[in-house]
Structure 1
């Protein structure tokens, strides 16, 4: 499958979402039947609509779920507060790097964590980010304007940067997303964004990013080499088997995970299923191999990817993961939230995923991602450090 690496978040998180919303899914109604094994409480599914801000929705979705885990009341945190600060920081770093940095709508879980630690957070009601005549997020114009702005700044036609460029950039964000709240009242108490974040009762130093690739040593940390990791946030590196242990240990002990994944695969449907089908003819179901051998590759793949019933899936290895990352087959597309485990009618394990594409889908905004898909296509996860098995945490040097 041809991959587009640059501006992947903007394309997958935004423009393909437009098509998904405006065109009805013509695939056959699936016959997958799922039984829930473990399901954690989460806040309602939201809709990023036509914006490339999945990283903010999924990152905050993790912290909203963490509050529920701790028995605290449900909260609705402002994604656009995080987006505003991240866009502003990204613009400054882009200019300092003379344009030698990715500048797009994309981001990472590190951005969400950085904003919470350094700027705080506000409720969604205080900053919905819809100051431009829409009732849903539509960032095409905003993204085009901010990108053109920073490119004009680094062209530096005056031979010296002005003292006004950053104020002008933030003025654009003010116009589209709204001015940042500095002080507000909630339930009879006064807060700043920083004091409100502190009032939530979460220790943001307890959250870590994990990944699994062989081009860096295991049990150390490195910055994932992807365009949207512009903050150069680091992830702990684990062998695949221990990486997957974290998923199950987390969910079984009440911890949700922010999940960064490649969703540009044919196996990631727009109607709630993410699978990793085996496409070798000798592994396909049915004893009559001639029916596969006598059709074109396109016909065979079209039949496999109808996704109207469970299929045999690829047995993922560490080498296969690495190959996909190295050759651009696995790309950094989309952020979501994993919050449960289910099984299909054949006993195959799936992870329950909260997406941010609204509820106009078969499972009302929830996806079921097979273990094989998650093993091969996960870029990284962010999770509370106590969700990691004790022996694995010790190897990583996390206390």
Structure 2
């Protein structure tokens, strides 16, 4: 190991010049990212888009990590708003989040039983006891909707706990770890009864914090032509079938993760503590050009696209832009460019946020120039909830999309039948 000596420090100090001093003075008064934003360049991203989809409202996930759910439900909302002939509509995220937490707890306890004989130092047990959180992905959203249906937001509105999930997550994880420790100490014949006790306690906690989900409900609304409508005796399934009515199993979770352990043109399969017990995460790994072309095809067909990106990379929330080229950082930070593979493998970047893709601007050669995004951070974030994304950002920091099978080529459909690559959850770049 080489020691940082006084001589080496002096050599480094000699590299600082007058321009660096000026930049240092500026950085004393404002965040460097804010100082480096070229607003003229970023503003140009908010020009019109020649492929664009109408949307029916802006949602706010507030202090929760449910972006994956909000963006998935906002995708389905477009179908429902058209069928109900309304300007605005929102599903109950609280309803689906209740079952998401319950499914995660059930799956976590099963994993605790499965790993009870392994030492605490094993990767599986260390991973498990990190607990569960709000996050998830498209295929799990589709699984929840298929299993539990949907209800309008008015039927099961948000509570404080559903939109501020820190306490609920802490308490849920405390219960899981308590009973996880008991499972590890218990005889094999006692473990299922311990799980049942834990699930009862977690279910009760969720009912207190989020409210008990409805089984049947009535719903009345007035459409944009001022016509009154009323439905009685609906269930979450009958509402979904009548006002959404699509087969979510026909969507493929496409990714572009060019890592050394995730080969291209094959499905990457994993099962972790964010899953439903009966579901694996199944993701088709394609090249970025393929993912982009699929997104464009789906947008051209009038369908929005659920995507996953890195919301910590080159984002300005006030301007509503995602664009590395709008930041003049090299003068202060030097060369910080990295390949997509290096970003993932070093943990510098990951798909940590999900949004809804609503449009794209194509040049005369049908190549994308910029993208239109609906976020779930409310109307005060971005331009009334809308973000503009440069092509440079999209290629580097967009990692996943939910694509209907209709838009896959025959060759791409064939990849779904190939033997998948199975990864443990701690091997995934975004876990």
Q: TM-score interval w.r.t. the shorter chain?
A: 0.7 to 0.9
Structure 2 vs 1, CA of residues 391 and 275 (structure 1 numbering), >3 Å: closer, same or farther?
Answer: farther
Q: Which whole-Å CA distance do the structure 2 matches of 1:120 and 1:52 have between them?
A: 21
Q: State whether structure 2 residue 127 is matched by structure 1 residue 84.
A: no
Per the alignment, residue 248 of structure 2 pairs with: 204
Q: Which whole-Å CA distance do the structure 2 matches of 1:395 and 1:358 have between them?
A: 40
Per the alignment, residue 111 of structure 1 pairs with: 140
Q: State whether structure 2 residue 323 is matched by structure 1 residue 323.
A: no
- Is the CA contact 2:254–2:400 (under 8 Å) kept in the aligned structure 1? yes
Unaligned runs of 5+ in 1: 1-22, 286-291, 305-313
- Is the CA contact 1:41–1:69 (under 8 Å) kept in the aligned structure 2? no
- Residues 134-175 of structure 1, C-alpha deviations (whole Å, 9 max, x = no match): xx8212211211121111111117734533221110111111
- Residues 38-61 of structure 1, C-alpha deviations (whole Å, 9 max, x = no match): 210222111111111111111111
The offset of 1:29, in angstroms, is 8.5
The offset of 1:130, in angstroms, is 0.8
Per the alignment, residue 227 of structure 2 pairs with: none
Q: Identify, as 1 or 2, the structure richer in helix.
A: 2
Structure having greater relative contact order (Cα 8 Å, sep ≥ 6): 1
User: SS where residue 158 of structure 2 aligns?
Assistant: coil
2:150 aligns with one of 108, 111, 121: 121
- Is the CA contact 1:255–1:383 (under 8 Å) kept in the aligned structure 2? no
Q: State whether structure 2 residue 268 is matched by structure 1 residue 222.
A: yes
Per the alignment, residue 216 of structure 2 pairs with: 183
Give the TM-score taking structure 2 as reference length.
0.70
Unaligned runs of 5+ in 2: 1-30, 113-124, 220-229, 418-431
- Is the CA contact 2:107–2:275 (under 8 Å) kept in the aligned structure 1? no
- Is the CA contact 2:151–2:236 (under 8 Å) kept in the aligned structure 1? yes
User: SS where residue 61 of structure 2 aligns?
Assistant: coil
Alignment of 1:309-388 (within 5 A): 320-342=339-361, 349-386=369-406, 388=407
The offset of 1:223, in angstroms, is 2.8
Alignment of 1:159-198 (within 5 A): 159=186, 160=190, 161-162=193-194, 163-186=196-219, 187-198=230-241
The offset of 1:238, in angstroms, is 1.4
1:156 aligns with one of 176, 182, 196: 182
Q: Which whole-Å CA distance do the structure 1 matches of 2:281 and 2:304 have between them?
A: 20
Q: Which whole-Å CA distance do the structure 2 matches of 1:270 and 1:392 have between them?
A: 39
Number of aligned residues = 339
Q: Which whole-Å CA distance do the structure 2 matches of 1:184 and 1:119 have between them?
A: 14
- Is the CA contact 1:341–1:349 (under 8 Å) kept in the aligned structure 2? yes
- Residues 254-286 of structure 1, C-alpha deviations (whole Å, 9 max, x = no match): 121111111112x1122211013399xxxx89x
- Over alpha carbons, which structure has the higher Rg? 2
Q: Which whole-Å CA distance do the structure 2 matches of 1:148 and 1:273 have between them?
A: 38
Q: Which whole-Å CA distance do the structure 2 matches of 1:391 and 1:120 have between them?
A: 31
